[in-house]
Each structure stands twice: as C-alpha cells, then as structure tokens.
Amino acid sequence: MSLLEEARQVAAEFDYTAQDVNKGVKEFIRQMDEGLQKNGTSMSQIPTYVTSVPNGTEKGLYLAVDLGGTNFRVCSIQLHGNTTFSLTQSKVAIPRDLMTAKKAQELFSFLAKQIETFLKTHHNDHFEAHHERRKAMSPSENFTDDELFQLGFTFSFPVHQIGINKGTLIRWTKGFDIEDAVGKDVCELLQKEIDALHLPVKVAALVNDTVGTLMARSYTSPGKTGTLLGGIFGTGTNGAYVEKLDRVTKLSTFSGSTDYDKSTGHMIVNTEWGSFDNQMTVLPNTPYDTALDAESVNPGIQMFEKRVSGMFLGEILRRALLALTQKKECQLFKDENSSSNDIHSTTTIAEDSMLYKQWGIDTSFLSIVQEDASAGYRITRQTLSRDLGVDAASIEDAEAVKTLVAAIGKRSARLSAVAIGAVILSTGKMDDSTQGNIAKQENNEVDEENVIDIGVDGSLVEYYPGFEEYIREALREIEGIGEKGEKRVRIGIAKDGSGVGAALIALVAGSAEKPGR
C-alpha cells in the first residue's frame, strides 16, 4: 500500500457522515432539554441571569478581563452607543505552572498584577488620581462605585453562578487544575487580589466567554435581529443561547438568584456543550481519541470538546501521525520514500522531536498545513522541520500529513455544526420564519427578516481555513435545516467578543443595582 493510501485509511477513521450528524443533532437536542430540567446532567445548561441581549445603543467606559485557556487579556472598552466601540487591550500567555498551582491565590494575584500594569500603561491619569484620593481619605473610608472602574470578568470555565458577580467554580477544564479554587467564588478571589494592590476596580460581573460573545455580537451585528447563539471555538468549545424562560424549568428548583428581570421572557443559557455526550452514545471515537482522553487530566469529561477544540486537535493529529509512522510497512518520514534523487534529502526525525511529546503539536500547525498551496508543499515541509524536527520530508510525507489534517479539521467542524444546528432547531428558529421577502429569497439574497444570527469567537474558527464552510456543508445535511435553512444562518466573528461582551454585562449589572430600577 502506498503511503497516501495508508494515510487515507487512517483519515477515514475520522469520517463523520451526514447520518452521524443527524444522529448527533437529535441526541444534542435531547441532552439540551434534559439540562434545562434538572441539575447534574452532562450538559449543564446554566442559567446566567442575563435576560436580554443589547441592541447597540449602550454607552460608557468599562474594564474587562478574560481568562481563556491560553491567554489572559485585559482591556478597556468605550461603548459609543451606535453599535461601535473602541478597545484598548493587552494580552499575556498564562504561565503553565500557574495553571496547576497549589493555591488559587498564586493564579489570581498574577491576574491582578496584569490589571495593575494595564491601568498604569493605558489609564494612568485615572490611576494616579485614585492614588491621590486614597492618600487624602481616612483608612475607614471606601470608594463609591462611581469612582471605580466597573470590570466584567470573563471566566471561561464551568461555574455555578449565583448572582451577576458571584459564582463558584464547578471544575477546571482545558488543562487547568488548581484544586484549592474549586467551590470558591472566583469574583471574590479576584477582588481580593485587586484590593491587595489598591486598584480602583470593582468586579461587577462574572461573564462566561460564550455569553460575552453573544452579547458583543448582538451589540455590533447589523440590522435589528438579535443574536441567537454565541459559540466559542478556541482552546475549548462552548455555546450560550437565548432560551425561552419558561423552558428553563429547573429554575424553579435551582438554588440560585431569583432576582432577575422576568419581563423579557428569555434567559441566556450557558450550555457547557464541551461536555455533550460524555457518556459517548453518539460521539465518534478513534483509538487516538481514546488515548488522548485516557492520558488527559480529566478522563471521561469534556468528551465533545476533546474532539472539537484547539487544545486537542494538534494532539489528535500527533497521535494519528505517530500511529502511521509506527505501522510496519509505512513509509511516513522514512527516507526510502523520498521521491527526489537528491542525496541531501535524507529524512530524519529528531530524537527529541515534538512528535514524541504529549501536546507536542499546536493546532495552529493544522491551519498552516490546511492552508498550504505552495509548490511541492514547501511550507508544510518547512513547518515539519521547524515545529517537529522532521527534516527533509518528502512531498508524499506532506501529502499524507495534509490528508490527516483535513480529516481531523473537518470532523471538528462537522461536530461544531451538530451543536449549532441543535440550538437552531431546539429553539424553533426554523419554524418561526415569516413569509419574508419572497423576491429576495428567489434572488438568493439574505432576507434580513429571517436571518438567524450567530456570533463566534476563538482562534480555531477564526484561523482554520474553511472551518465555516465545513460547518455550513454539515448544516445543509441536517434534517429540518437543509439548503434553504442554511442560507438563513448568518455567522459572524465577534471580534474582541469577550471584552465587549463583558463590558456590556458589567453595564447591565451596574444599572440593575442603581435604585429606582
């Protein structure tokens, strides 16, 4: 068997057919419903106490921080009130050792220090003025809320939210593991470290990045249509959507706040869909998925996420590549395969190659390979050398790698379509289309009235070439959506979504606290 044939055989293990997609959607809808009714289900379906989405007229200056899975972002956002905003931001990588620190304080004091640096760099006037006032005040005096920056804290891990700025950590995901923090209020943990540095900042809102994405997209999206769903495809994957309040039946028995605006008839629900089908009834499975899970910090958990998101695709590829190199006859990265007669092209794998190390391949590698249209896959071969220490790989090697990459990326996007399609169908969006503008529909134009708006965020959906098109292809295959329904779906990147979204929720939180409302 040729190398390419062998690669195709491994790639075929990642096939996820139209039939699989439809089975997935049905089960996804079932698990969504179950999560709305009771606690302790695989998809948590967490009520966020945010009951409406913005319309673009909101105004003010806010701070926002975002603890994703890879980076910590600090930003200030000026909302102009006309669907536009200005944003200043800084970003640092989270040191790996802090992700698994002994004490929560180690991580949170690092975060507070980044906020301090940001304020000194970008808002020094406000910062200095605050210090002067502090000196003039008696120690027992406190600042009023008006003197403080209201901060929206985007915290993209599952929390049991008990109020707009109060929530306890349920469990870590995405490689974080700080036992000490589990069960604690993450806003309080951050506020404590902010106060220790005497920063003029109040943690006003706890925001899941999905909700932030949904809010931000709704603020900036064109037209009057509110956004239905915010989806994250970055280090992890998750989604939040606008649900009918009376469908969230567990709210009546839920041990959370009862103090929220019920007049809208809606509740934004954070699905925690990364945990969809942890029981593995419909999710696809390969030996590479199984091994990745078994050697992860949380086996059996976040099973959907482990097949979809940026944190994992590189590792799936690494395992698939290794399996291929270890096949007895297989010629991947072996010199005999080299098609050129160039004597310099001795293919070698460095002994300390990242190919042999867990998490050794970053998902950005997949994007580079997927995108490569250079003659003779020059870019892929260069990247193999630079990132994986595979020198003088052949064109056939590169083709084999690309075959695997495409299969893994495509499966991820098709699974993403399962989540998106399930939310569209379960919220009845396909049924409530009006006649709409028939002329436009006949001309194959987007009919604004019937648009289903979806905001997405995350490096995977933003940078993986063709990710959205793979999603759309799968949406067309879903019964109840089809070609016609897929055209109604408008997917937009919520650029800086978590920052703007967090600002919008801090704003909502602030105005809800003011008397007379």
Please list the active-site residues: 156, 171, 209
Cβ distance to ligand ADP smaller for residue 221 or 459? 459
The residue from 51, 173, 286, 367 that contacts ligand ADP (CB under 6 A) is 367
CB of 230 closer than 8 Å to CB of 497: yes
Cα separation of 204 and 505, whole Å? 8
How many whole angstroms from its chain centre is CA 128? 36
The residue from 35, 56, 167, 458 that contacts ligand ADP (CB under 6 A) is 458
Binding-residue pattern over the window 219 to 248 for Mg ion, x denoting contact by CB under 5 A: ---------------x--------------
DSSP structure string for 66-111: EE-SSEEEEEEEEEESSS-EEEEEEEEEPPHHHHT-SSHHHHHHHH
Q: How many residues lie near ligand ADP (CB under 6 A)?
A: 17
Instruction: Answer yes or no whether residue 200 interacts with Mg ion by CB under 5 A.
Output: no
445 burial type by CB count under 10 A (0-12 exposed, 13-18 middle, 19+ buried): exposed
The residue from 422, 459, 477, 500 that contacts ligand ADP (CB under 6 A) is 459
Cβ distance to ligand ADP smaller for residue 64 or 392? 64
Secondary structure class of 207 (helix, strand, coil): strand
How many whole angstroms from its chain centre is CA 322? 28
Residues 50-79 that bind Mg ion (CB under 5 A): 68
347 contact choice in Mg ion, ligand ADP, none (CB below 5 to 8 Å, kind-dependent): none
Q: Which two tokens stand for residue 189?
A: 């943990």
Scanning 242-308, the segments in alpha helix (DSSP H) are: 287-294, 305-308
Q: Which two tokens stand for residue 186?
A: 């993450």
Q: Smallest Cα–Cα separation from 410: which of 280, 284, 287?
A: 284
On the CB side of 78, CA atoms within 13 Å amount to 5
Instruction: Answer yes or no whether residue 208 interacts with ligand ADP by CB under 6 A.
Output: no
Dihedral in degrees, nearest 10, Cα atoms 376, 386, 470, 501: -150
Instruction: Answer yes or no whether residue 234 interacts with ligand ADP by CB under 6 A.
Output: yes
Read off the DSSP letter of residue 450: G
Least distance CB 62 / ligand ADP (angstroms)? 19
Using CB under 6 A, which of the segments 47-55, 145-153, 278-286, 360-368 binds ligand ADP?
360-368
Dihedral in degrees, nearest 10, Cα atoms 95, 97, 103, 108: 0
Q: Which two tokens stand for residue 242?
A: 């606008």
Least distance CB 366 / ligand ADP (angstroms)? 6
Amino acid making up residue 415? L
Q: Which residue has the tokens 């106490």?
A: 49
CB of 273 closer than 8 Å to CB of 419: yes
Cβ distance to ligand ADP smaller for residue 389 or 465? 465
Which residues are CB-contacts of 486 (< 8 A; sequence separation ≥ 6)? 472, 475, 476
Using CB under 6 A, which of the segments 245-253, 340-348, 435-443, 453-461 binds ligand ADP?
453-461
Handedness of CA 141, 145, 150, 156 (dihedral sign): positive
Q: How many residues lie near Mg ion (CB under 5 A)?
A: 2
367 contact choice in Mg ion, ligand ADP, none (CB below 5 to 8 Å, kind-dependent): ligand ADP
Instruction: Answer yes or no whether residue 32 interacts with ligand ADP by CB under 6 A.
Output: no
Residues 42-101 that bind ligand ADP (CB under 6 A): 68-71
Using CB under 6 A, which of the segments 164-172, 189-197, 284-292, 460-468 binds ligand ADP?
460-468
Comparing every residue's Cβ against ligand ADP, the nearest one is 68
The residue from 158, 230, 310, 455 that contacts ligand ADP (CB under 6 A) is 310
Cβ distance to ligand ADP smaller for residue 68 or 152? 68
Residues 335-354 that bind ligand ADP (CB under 6 A): none
CB of 414 closer than 8 Å to CB of 18: no
Cβ distance to Mg ion smaller for residue 230 or 234? 234
Radius of gyration over every alpha carbon of the chain, rounded to an integer in angstroms:
24
Cβ distance to ligand ADP smaller for residue 275 or 337? 275
Least distance CB 458 / ligand ADP (angstroms)? 4
Instruction: Answer yes or no whether residue 409 interacts with Mg ion by CB under 5 A.
Output: no
Least distance CB 312 / ligand ADP (angstroms)? 8
Q: Smallest Cα–Cα separation from 423: which of 355, 503, 480?
A: 480
Distances in Å between the alpha carbon of 475 and those of 187, 248, 451, 472?
Answer: 38, 26, 15, 5
Instruction: Answer yes or no whether residue 464 interacts with ligand ADP by CB under 6 A.
Output: yes
158 contact choice in ligand ADP, Mg ion, none (CB below 5 to 8 Å, kind-dependent): none
The residue from 143, 254, 359, 463 that contacts ligand ADP (CB under 6 A) is 463
Least distance CB 316 / Mg ion (angstroms)? 20
Cβ distance to Mg ion smaller for residue 68 or 175? 68
70 contact choice in Mg ion, ligand ADP, none (CB below 5 to 8 Å, kind-dependent): ligand ADP
Cα separation of 293 and 298, whole Å? 7
**For residue 491, what are the β-bridge partners?**
454
Q: What are phi and psi of 487, to 5 degrees?
A: -65, -25
Cβ distance to ligand ADP smaller for residue 47 or 69? 69
Cα separation of 278 and 31, whole Å? 11
Cβ distance to ligand ADP smaller for residue 414 or 429? 414
Sites of contact with ligand ADP (CB under 6 A) = 68-71, 234-235, 310-311, 362-364, 367, 458-460, 463-464
Sites of contact with Mg ion (CB under 5 A) = 68, 234
